[in-house]
Amino acid sequence: MKLGIAAVAAVLCLGGCTWLEPPIEESDIAGAALGPGEELLRSVPGEGAPAYRFTIGGGGACARADGVFDGAAEAFRMTISMDGPQPGSSVTMGLVLLGEDAWIRIGLEPAEVARQLGLPDGWVAFDPERVESFRIGGTGGGSDPAGAGDLLENAVGVTRAGNRKYSGTLDLTKAEDPMMLTTEQITALGDAARSVPFTASVDAEGRLTTLTTQVPGGTCRIAFADYGKAVTPAAPATKDRSDEGEEKIYEILNS
């Protein structure tokens, strides 16, 4: 089980719903001289972005995740849901990073499978540097835990597709760590991974709100919301923490 997974949030107006939005103004586009691809890449939350909420998911094609990132407070929280190691089982993994402090909680259903694996019950403090594949935005100065920027850096043929909307294709084979899909999923796509259609939308201030891709097996989306309004993540309550199980956490995450 690796930490490099993520997925997408449901968006009510998949088809566009441009009639719900006011006419676009020139000021809506950050830097009118920029091409659409540069505009879109600049819309991804950067280091100066206020606290925001993100969700990742899709109709079975991706894992499911949601979280909050606050760069100024060096605070990050994410919850990931995925299929478990056995048929019919499911895993929910929570992660909290506050500066140099980190906690993780792994829940597994059914409960008897969790007991068989010896999973700790509660939030466990751990050292991210002891996890081989640990790469989450928010550590090392990152500000894009959902991985949207990593995807859009490899966008091709980006065009404006309506009121604050864009479209184009993504070359997933060039993405350094595409959180939407695992490396195994991208490999399984074959040549199709080099030209994956996407659509995106931004808000009136030019900030990314949705990034949607179509892959064999379904739709994957990343959605951003509550810029400047999201509640800064806090440390897990003491009563919900476990003093045991740290070594088991490293064993699972490095497997």
Model confidence pLDDT, tens digit, residues 212-233: 998 777 888 999 999 999 999 9
Buried b or exposed e, range 4-27, using 16+ CB within 10 angstroms? ebbbbbebeeeeeeeeebeeeeee
% residues pLDDT > 90 (the chain): 40
**AA letter at 119:** L
User: Is residue 6's pLDDT more than 50?
Assistant: no
Q: Does the pLDDT of residue 174 top 60, yes or no?
A: yes
What is the structure's pLDDT at 26? 41
Q: How far is CA 69 from CA 42, 96, 135, in A?
A: 18, 10, 15
For 157-196, the DSSP string reads EEEEEETTEEEEEE-GGG-SS-TTS-HHHHHHHGGGGGSE
- On whether residue 91 sits in a domain, the answer given is yes
More confident position, 134 or 219: 219
Q: Which residue has the tokens 């949705």?
A: 210
Least confident of 36-40, 43-47, 181-185, 245-249: 181-185
- CATH code of 186's domain: 2.50.20.20
pLDDT in tens, 90-100: 889 999 999 89
Whether residue 218 contacts residue 95, with contact meaning beta carbons closer than 8 Å, is answered with no
Q: How confident is the model at residue 139 (pLDDT cuts 50, 70, 90)?
A: very low
Residue 10, pLDDT > 70, answer no
What pLDDT was estimated at residue 187?
Answer: 86
Check residue 135 and give its pLDDT: 60
- Domain interval for residue 159: 30-233
Residue 242 lies in a domain: no
| pLDDT at residue 8 greater than cutoff 80 | no
Residue 39 predicted with pLDDT over 90: yes
Residue 1 lies in a domain: no
From the DSSP assignment, how many helices (H) and strands (E) are in the chain? 5, 11
Taking the C-alpha atoms of residue 28 and residue 25, their distance in angstroms, rounded to an integer, is 5
- Is the residue at 53 inside a domain? yes
pLDDT digits (tens, 9 = 90+) for 177-187: 666 777 778 88
Interstrand relation of 218-225 and 90-98 (parallel, antiparallel or unpaired): unpaired
Residue 125: inside a domain, yes or no?
yes
Count of domains for the chain: 1
